[in-house]
Amino acid sequence: MNKKKIINDPVYGFISIPSDLVFDLIEHPYFQRLRYIKQLGMTHLVYPGALHTRFHHALGALHLMSLAVETLRYKGQIITEAEEEAVSVAILLHDIGHGPFSHALEQIIVDGVWHEDISKLLMNELNKQFDGRLTMAIEIFNGTYSKNFLHQLVSSQLDMDRMDYLNRDSFFTGVSEGVISSDRIIKMLNVVDDHVVVEEKGIYSIEKFLIARRLMYWQVYLHKTVIAAEMQLTKILKRAREIALKGDELNCTPALNHFLINSINSEVFMLEDKNLETFAGLDDTDIMAAVKVWGNSQDFVLSKLCHDLVRRNLYHVDITSELPDKNLVNELTEKAAIKFGISGVEASYFVFTDVVRNNAYKTGDGSILILMKNGTVKDITAASDNSNLEALAKTVKKYILCYPKDLV
């Protein structure tokens, strides 16, 4: 069978599948599942074009990795064919552990387990199925391989993952502020003392990259209507689990039902292989099918939340720098309880507060390093004359208050 395929990608053009192993991994059900998990969760309710998937993203990151390896080899770095295949596999599978709607339901379906943890478990399972051929890829992914710079290409503040999702998310949302010069950044990459660095002449492209990331967070990832939709979906799953754990049956797929009727934390998840295999059968379609069915639930809270989400009747969201006034929250909660004829506890599904954070860049471990013309290496914040970059290194914390639009 011919496994040397090319894929027509709307962002980069033609993408080549570099090896038989990569082709076989793409064909595997674990990876094919990513076709049915949207990259940006509920963002399509704000930007209608944002329907691209984790499958698209993984292939795009794979393509950028091939360009990075080519560049570093050209500059004298020794990367063997086995290492090239391994780092390609590591970036291809870096998001394989994402659950339905990507980050929106993380920590909701399985308490205390992040998608990176599930990615590692799925990669280990694939390694068994592929007779140990993923061992080096897993070492690179975990940062235990002897060449640390390969791990940085997969996971760092300037990795192929971030470069692709900024390119891809800006393309499909139409938000031009997220466009970055990924080709130029990759051409400027080098390695010094086993660390990925960027040559000084690429410094302005890195500045643009960091600013683009910050703007994409506020305009796309943390857009208040996106927050409203994802919070609504989170509350739906929380209410469904509350009902299911009381013994009331809810119509949904077997895979979703498994995680509703069982309280599964990180320890329980790791103990039984069934949990991982069941999780690998979950995608966006399980959730949306359930939401549509639960719209007819006898439980008012679940029924209303589901109906409203399907009809895009979302929470109103206030985003502020200060903690929302407790009296206002209590007043809105009381209004919701009276309006819907429900208890104060149930009203908390409709009126609640939360916190969002945006951190475009972290100084210290994993910093973006600039290789100066005199051979020294500096952190981007020290090498740049743009004082705004220091501000990007600070975590911005904002408070949100969600409530039904018709309460005020």
Of 45, 36, 106, nearest to 286 by C-alpha is 36
* pLDDT for 396: 87
All domains of the chain in start order, with CATH = 6-223 (1.10.3210.10), 227-357+401-407 (1.20.1250.30)
Alpha helix segments (H runs only) across 5-114: 20-27, 29-32, 54-74, 81-92
Backbone angles phi, psi at 49, to 5 degrees: -80, -10
* Intervals of the chain under pLDDT 70: 364-365, 387
- Our CA dihedral for 402, 406, 407, 408, rounded to 10 degrees, sits at 100
What is the value of pTM for the model shown? 0.94
Please name every residue paired with 358 in a beta bridge, in sequence order, or none if there are none.
Answer: 396
Rg (CA), the chain: 23
- pLDDT digits over 230-255, tens only? 999 999 999 999 999 999 999 999 99
| CA-to-CA separations, 226 to 44, 49, 161, 389, in angstroms, rounded | 8, 14, 22, 26
Contact 49, 170 (CB under 8 A): no
Report the C-alpha gap between 236 and 315 in whole angstroms: 13
- pLDDT digits over 190-224, tens only? 999 999 999 999 999 999 999 999 999 999 999 99
* pLDDT for 124: 96
Report the C-alpha gap between 210 and 372 in whole angstroms: 19
> What is the identity of the amino acid at 329?
V
* pLDDT for 30: 97
